[in-house]
């Protein structure tokens, strides 16, 4: 039996919505914070642990890989363990990892705590955030309000990560940044006691271990390949690619990016063949193929991927520009990005009222238009020696656009399926977002390194590339059906 809900969007079983949304929003904030704050502490960590910058960068890369590759299996476990239990388990593993990283005497334990345990914890706790909102609130407009809060928290965490991380590292230590995560996670676990978990209909599925291994391997190699583009480029390899002492691809040959992506694609093909065979035998699978037959959800997933590509890519190119051309430190860089953060928060806060007046499709379109306009303003106004104020109009409009469409895209995707499919679609949605974010930083990094242009121009070229991609996202948004039902299961 489905638990009753009030018309105001508050689950009767859950009590006040704020008691449920606060821990979910904080969890999204801390996960987004962890993905960006480490970049400003690389040198300090390398010096303290007597290791290399490359070693610390490897730890950051492994965190991204672990989280991305396990997101779908982690989401499936919500149907087996329960959403709230999976959420708290993820928080616990994440908190233990942060504590180990804070106390790590060497790179090995930092990798175990941060890259492995925090990555696993993130993969377990992020999908339930979106599932719980979807199954606990009755319609797309109610969800928009709370998805807006969570999206705003995620945007704030990603944007404030370098600022908070840089401030904590400069004033105290990089270890204190992990200690802060431990305290916040402990607080979230305490708050999570107020979360209700509406009963899932139907029998609990069995865990598809083979599918989990194949999907994780496919996503691991795909994301790893994208991340390698920063070193080797997307097309011709910028340097020799070696395994051990053997040169596998010489400089000037095809980039090894495609070797990794090709391996990932083969694993993903194997995964889909495995799922199709298992479904034909009536067995439980990790991810039902019917999810890919929903046109509305597929278009929504496309907009999600592009949104995260633009968000992470733009923040990356702007951060590097401010530090290399303006010679700002981490704290100054974080402060310069504040208008974008304000824009994301303002748009996310207004998501509920916007959803009451406009269709989700039009909000996604408006978001892409505002984001594109913001990027064009940055290209038009910002110069190497222009004033700080030249950044503000573009960044604010960019943030408003991102905040508007992130919430709406999530709402379109999650609302296209019934409660019984929320575990599957949430994991797929988060994986697509991770792929988009990874591709964003990889693409921008490749353009910055590969462009043979005078000082400052590679940054303009990278931002112009992201603007073109934003226009592609706008085109996809126009293809979303004009109306989709506001109750789960409509589009399936």
Residue 4: predicted pLDDT? 38
Q: Which of 61-70, 138-147, 337-346, 372-381 has maximum average pLDDT?
A: 372-381
Please give the residue that has the higher pLDDT: either 39 or 326.
326
* Burial zone of 388 (CB within 10 Å; 0-12 exposed, 13-18 middle, 19+ buried): exposed
Torsion of CA 255, 257, 259, 265, to 10 degrees: -140
Residue 459: predicted pLDDT? 85
CB 376 within 8 A of CB 369: no
Given a cut of 60, whether residue 488 has pLDDT beyond it is no
Measured distance CA(264)–CA(134) in Å, rounded: 31
> pLDDT by residue (tens digit) across 223-240?
888 878 777 877 778 888
CB 461 within 8 A of CB 352: no
For 56, residues 6+ apart whose C-beta sits below 8 A from its C-beta are 38, 42, 45, 46, 49, 107, 110
CB 436 within 8 A of CB 307: yes
* Percent of the chain predicted with pLDDT > 90: 37
Q: What is the mean pLDDT of residues 327-349?
A: 82
Given a cut of 80, whether residue 452 has pLDDT beyond it is no
Q: Which of 310-319, 370-379, 450-459 has maximum average pLDDT?
A: 370-379
Token pair listed for 443: 């693409």
The sign of the torsion formed by the CA atoms of 261, 262, 267, 272 equals: positive
Given a cut of 90, whether residue 267 has pLDDT beyond it is yes
> pLDDT by residue (tens digit) across 386-431?
888 899 999 999 999 998 888 888 888 888 888 778 888 888 888 8
Measured distance CA(395)–CA(392) in Å, rounded: 5
> pLDDT by residue (tens digit) across 11-40?
444 444 657 889 999 999 998 888 778 877
Measured distance CA(330)–CA(318) in Å, rounded: 12
Residue 144: predicted pLDDT? 76
Kindly report which listed range (357-361, 362-366, 423-427, 447-451) carries the lowest average pLDDT score.
Answer: 447-451
Token pair listed for 383: 């110069």
For 108, residues 6+ apart whose C-beta sits below 8 A from its C-beta are none
Kindly report which listed range (187-196, 214-223, 266-275, 453-462) carries the lowest average pLDDT score.
Answer: 453-462
Q: What is the mean pLDDT of residues 345-352?
A: 78
| Total number of residues shown for the chain | 492
Measured distance CA(267)–CA(213) in Å, rounded: 9
């Amino acid at each position: 039996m489905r638990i009753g809900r009030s018309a105001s969007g508050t689950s009767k079983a859950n009590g006040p919505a704020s008691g449920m949304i606060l821990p979910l929003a904080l969890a999204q904030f801390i996960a987004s914070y962890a993905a960006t704050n480490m970049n400003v502490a690389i040198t300090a960590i390398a010096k303290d642990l007597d290791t290399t910058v490359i070693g610390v960068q490897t730890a950051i890369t492994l965190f991204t890989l672990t989280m991305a590759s396990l997101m779908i299996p982690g989401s499936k476990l919500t149907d087996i363990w329960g959403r709230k239990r999976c959420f708290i388990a993820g928080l616990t593993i994440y908190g233990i990892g942060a504590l180990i990283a804070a106390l790590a005497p060497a790179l090995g334990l930092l990798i175990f705590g941060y890259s492995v345990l925090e990555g696993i914890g993130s993969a377990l706790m992020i999908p339930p955030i979106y599932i719980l909102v979807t199954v606990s609130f009755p319609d797309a407009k109610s969800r928009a309000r709370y998805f807006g809060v969570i999206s705003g928290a995620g945007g704030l965490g990603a944007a404030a990560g370098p600022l908070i991380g840089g401030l904590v590292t400069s004033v105290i230590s990089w270890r204190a940044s992990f200690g802060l995560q431990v305290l916040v996670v402990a607080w979230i676990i305490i708050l999570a006691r107020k979360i209700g978990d509406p009963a899932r209909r139907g029998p609990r599925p069995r865990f598809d271990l083979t599918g989990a291994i194949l999907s994780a391997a496919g996503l691991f190699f795909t994301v790893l390949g994208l991340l390698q583009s920063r070193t080797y480029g997307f097309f011709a390899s910028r340097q020799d690619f070696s395994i051990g002492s053997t040169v596998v691809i010489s400089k000037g040959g095809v980039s090894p990016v495609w070797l990794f992506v090709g391996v990932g694609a083969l694993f993903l093909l194997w995964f889909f063949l495995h799922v199709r065979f298992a479904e034909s035998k009536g067995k439980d699978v990790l991810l039902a193929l019917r999810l890919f037959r929903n046109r509305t959800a597929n278009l929504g997933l496309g907009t999600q991927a592009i949104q995260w590509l633009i968000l992470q890519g733009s923040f990356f190119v702007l951060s590097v520009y401010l530090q290399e051309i303006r010679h700002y430190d981490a704290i100054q860089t974080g402060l310069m990005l504040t208008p974008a953060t304000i824009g994301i928060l303002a748009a996310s806060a207004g998501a509920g009222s916007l959803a009451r007046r406009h269709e989700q499709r039009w909000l996604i379109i408006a978001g892409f238009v505002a984001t594109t306009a913001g990027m064009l303003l940055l290209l038009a106004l910002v110069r190497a020696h222009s004033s700080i104020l030249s950044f503000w109009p573009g960044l604010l409009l960019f943030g408003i656009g991102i905040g508007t469409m992130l919430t709406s895209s999530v709402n379109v995707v999650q609302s296209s399926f019934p409660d019984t499919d929320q575990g599957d679609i949430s994991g797929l949605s988060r994986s697509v977002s991770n792929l988009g974010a990874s591709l964003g930083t990889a693409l921008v990094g490749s353009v910055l390194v590969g462009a043979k242009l005078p000082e400052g121009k590679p940054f303009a070229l990278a931002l112009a590339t992201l603007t073109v991609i934003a226009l592609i996202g706008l085109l996809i948004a126009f293809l979303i059906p004009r109306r989709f039902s506001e109750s789960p299961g409509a589009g399936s």
